[in-house]
Structures are given as C-alpha cells and as structure tokens.
Amino acid sequence: SQKIEQNSEALNIQEGKTATLTCNYTNYSPAYLQWYRQDPGRGPVFLLLIRENEKEKRKERLKVTFDTTLKQSLFHITASQPADSATYLCALLMDTGRRALTFGSGTRLQVQP
C-alpha cells in the first residue's frame, strides 16, 4: 500500500524566511497531489492541488512542486508569517474514480516572530 512520509514532525523558522516542507511517497505516482493546512481542533483547509503532469503550481506566497521521478512534492511558503503556523498535510489521490485521499501524518510548522 502507498506510504507517505512528510519530512519532519515539526519545523521551526524565523518570520520572513521561506518554509520548505517535503512529502515523499513510495509506490506509483498519484493522479493528483494536494496540500492542506490544519489548525488544532479544526478540519483541514484545502490549499493547492497539482496534477501528475505538472511540475509546479503557485498561489500567492505558496508554491508546490511535484517530481514523479523522485516521488516527491515540495511545499514552499515564502515570506513566512506567524499566522502561517499550523500543521500542513500532504494528500495523494490515487483513484480518480473513488476520489478518496490518502493523507500523510503532517508537518507542524512554527514561525517565530
């Protein structure tokens, strides 16, 4: 079965720096890879989706890359702010028919002021 690894349980950075989070998977590449943000005690919030045949996607201060050769996605937050502190989840959509997502365990980002 597909295994998803997000690089570290926690990441601490200084405000203004770029945060880079990693998502690695083990088996065949998903049709779509997605990133979500989750705050404590809340449901996840959709951020970005990238297709198997896309290399990069951007949205405001967010950038996602997808390398199917390395089986890896990188999620970047530029000019990070304390309000970006949250857990970020990587999710793979393997079956476009079922549309069910498989989530990684997440990386907790803490942006220090």
Using the minimum distance from each CB to other proteins, give the nearer residue, 15 or 39.
39
In the set 3, 8, 18, 100, which binds other proteins (CB under 8 A)?
Answer: 100
Phi, psi of 13, rounded to the nearest 5 degrees:
-140, 165
Using the minimum distance from each CB to other proteins, give the nearer residue, 77 or 91.
91
In the set 7, 13, 63, 103, which binds other proteins (CB under 8 A)?
Answer: 103
Q: Is 41 among the residues that bind other proteins (CB under 8 A)?
A: yes
Q: Is 60 among the residues that bind other proteins (CB under 8 A)?
A: no
Using the minimum distance from each CB to other proteins, give the nearer residue, 23 or 77.
23
CB 77 within 8 A of CB 22: no
Closest distance of CB 73 from other proteins, Å? 15
Closest distance of CB 17 from other proteins, Å? 25
